[in-house]
Amino acid sequence: MKKFNLMLLFVTFLGNIAFAQFAYRSVVTTGNWNAIASWERYNGTAWSAATTGQIPGANDTVYIQTGHLINLIQNETCYTLNLHNASSARLNLAGFILNVNGNLACYASAINVFPVTYSTSLPNLATWINTSTAGSAIRLVGNTRAATLTGQWGNNPPGWNLEVALNPNQIASFNSGFKANRITIISGTLQTNSGNDIRPDNGAASTGDLIINAGAKLTLSGSIRRTATAGAQCDSIVVNGTLELAASAARGLDALNLVVGNGGKVSMTNSAAYTSVVTNYDYKTGSTLEYAGTTAQTLGGEFPANLIIKKLVINNSNGITITGTRSISDTLQMIAGNLSIPATDSLILGTLANATLLRTSGTLVGKLNRFVSSSTTGITLFPVGSNNFYRPVTVNFVSAPMAGGNISVMHIDSGISGTSISNISDGAYTVNRRSNMYWTGSVNNGLTALNITLSIDANGIAGIANAAENRIIASADNGITFGMPGGVHASGSGSSATRTAFQVVPTTFRLYMGGNATTNPLPVTLRSFTGFYDNGISRLTWETSSETNNKGFYIEKSTDGIKFETIAFVAGQGNSQKLNQYEFIDANIFENTYYRLVQIDFDGITETSNIIKIIRNFDHISISPNPFDGQINVTSSLDTNPIEIVVYDLQGKEKLTAFGLGSISVDASSLEAGIYLLEIKNGDDRQIKRIIKN
HSE-CB at 166 with a 13 A cutoff on CA atoms is 23
Q: Is the pLDDT of residue 348 over 80?
A: yes
Query: How would residue 261 be classed by pLDDT, with cut points 50, 70 and 90?
Result: very high
HSE-CB at 612 with a 13 A cutoff on CA atoms is 20
Do 182 and 328 share a domain, yes or no?
yes
Give the model's pLDDT for residue 19: 41
* Residue at which a domain ends, from 515, 534, 552: 515
Cα(164)–Cα(184) distance, integer angstroms: 6
Do 95 and 153 share a domain, yes or no?
no
Do 482 and 594 share a domain, yes or no?
no
Report the chain's mean pLDDT, rounded to a whole number. Answer: 86
Give the model's pLDDT for residue 356: 97
* Residue at which a domain ends, from 362, 392, 423: 362
Of residues 224 and 648, the one with the higher pLDDT is: 224
Say if 468 falls within a structural domain.
yes
Do 344 and 471 share a domain, yes or no?
no
Query: How would residue 351 be classed by pLDDT, with cut points 50, 70 and 90?
Result: confident
Say if 390 falls within a structural domain.
no
Average pLDDT in the 153-170 region?
A: 87
Average pLDDT in the 237-259 region?
A: 96
Do 437 and 422 share a domain, yes or no?
yes
Say if 331 falls within a structural domain.
yes
The residues near 546 (Cβ < 8 Å, ≥ 6 apart) are: 462, 463, 521, 523, 525, 576, 577, 578
Percent of the chain with pLDDT over 70: 90
DSSP code string of 191-214: EE-TT--EEE-SSSTT--EEEE-T
The residues near 243 (Cβ < 8 Å, ≥ 6 apart) are: 212, 217, 218, 220, 237, 260, 264, 265, 266, 267
Q: Is the pLDDT of residue 17 over 50?
A: no
- CB crowding 155-183: b at 16 or more within 10 Å, else e: bbbbbbbbbbbbeeebbbbbbbbbbbbbb
Phi and psi at residue 11, to the nearest 5°: -65, -35
Q: Is the pLDDT of residue 11 over 50?
A: no
Q: Is the pLDDT of residue 526 over 80?
A: no
Cα(256)–Cα(126) distance, integer angstroms: 22
Q: Is the pLDDT of residue 241 over 60?
A: yes
Do 234 and 317 share a domain, yes or no?
yes
Strand ordering across the sheet containing 451-457: 378-382, 393-399, 451-457, 496-502, 488-493
In total, how many domains does the chain have? Answer: 5
Q: Is the pLDDT of residue 122 over 70?
A: no
Domain that holds residue 574: 526-615
Give the model's pLDDT for residue 621: 76
Do 82 and 114 share a domain, yes or no?
yes
Percent of the chain with pLDDT over 90: 51
Query: How would residue 653 be classed by pLDDT, with cut points 50, 70 and 90?
Result: confident
What CATH number does residue 662 fall under? 2.60.40.3080
Average pLDDT in the 256-279 region?
A: 96
Q: Is the pLDDT of residue 267 over 50?
A: yes
Query: How would residue 121 be classed by pLDDT, with cut points 50, 70 and 90?
Result: low
Average pLDDT in the 78-87 region?
A: 85
* Residue at which a domain ends, from 301, 331, 362: 362
Give the model's pLDDT for residue 15: 40
Give the model's pLDDT for residue 472: 92
Of residues 385 and 492, the one with the higher pLDDT is: 385
Query: How would residue 400 be classed by pLDDT, with cut points 50, 70 and 90?
Result: confident
Average pLDDT in the 341-361 region?
A: 94
Q: Is the pLDDT of residue 407 over 80?
A: yes
Cα(157)–Cα(160) distance, integer angstroms: 8
Say if 367 falls within a structural domain.
no
Q: Is the pLDDT of residue 6 over 50?
A: no
Say if 383 falls within a structural domain.
no
Q: Is the pLDDT of residue 203 over 50?
A: yes
Do 576 and 463 share a domain, yes or no?
no
Give the model's pLDDT for residue 8: 32
Do 243 and 329 share a domain, yes or no?
yes
Average pLDDT in the 412-428 region?
A: 84
Give the model's pLDDT for residue 44: 83
Of residues 269 and 116, the one with the higher pLDDT is: 269
Say if 659 falls within a structural domain.
yes
Cα(265)–Cα(332) distance, integer angstroms: 14
Do 328 and 451 share a domain, yes or no?
no
The residues near 299 (Cβ < 8 Å, ≥ 6 apart) are: 273, 291, 320, 321, 322, 323, 326
Q: What is the pTM of this model?
A: 0.74
SS (H, E, C) 473-537: EEECCCCCCCECCCCEEEEEECCEEEEEEECCCCCEEEEEEEECCCCCCCCCCEEEEEEEECCCC
Give the model's pLDDT for residue 18: 40
DSSP code string of 288-352: EEEE--SS-EE--TTS-TT-EEEEEEEE-TT-EE--S-EEEEEEEEEEES-EE--TT--EEE-SS
Say if 397 falls within a structural domain.
no
Weakest-pLDDT range from 106-115, 441-450, 469-478, 666-675: 441-450
Per-residue pLDDT of 605-636, as tens digits, reads 677 788 888 877 666 677 888 888 888 888 87
Weakest-pLDDT range from 116-120, 143-147, 255-259, 401-405: 116-120
443 conformational bin, left if phi > 0, alpha if psi -120 to 50, beta if neither: beta
Say if 591 falls within a structural domain.
yes
Do 202 and 264 share a domain, yes or no?
yes
Of residues 216 and 459, the one with the higher pLDDT is: 216
Cα(82)–Cα(96) distance, integer angstroms: 18
Give the model's pLDDT for residue 5: 36
Cα(208)–Cα(158) distance, integer angstroms: 9
Give the model's pLDDT for residue 9: 32
Q: Is the pLDDT of residue 270 over 90?
A: yes
Per-residue pLDDT of 481-506, as tens digits, reads 887 777 888 888 889 999 887 765 56
Give the model's pLDDT for residue 10: 37
Cα(151)–Cα(175) distance, integer angstroms: 8
Do 508 and 541 share a domain, yes or no?
no
Q: Is the pLDDT of residue 524 over 60?
A: no
Per-residue pLDDT of 546-605, as tens digits, reads 676 778 999 999 988 889 999 999 998 887 767 788 999 998 888 789 999 988 877 676
Instruction: Report CA-CA distances (Å) from 165 to 56, 80, 97, 208, 231.
Output: 20, 16, 12, 19, 29
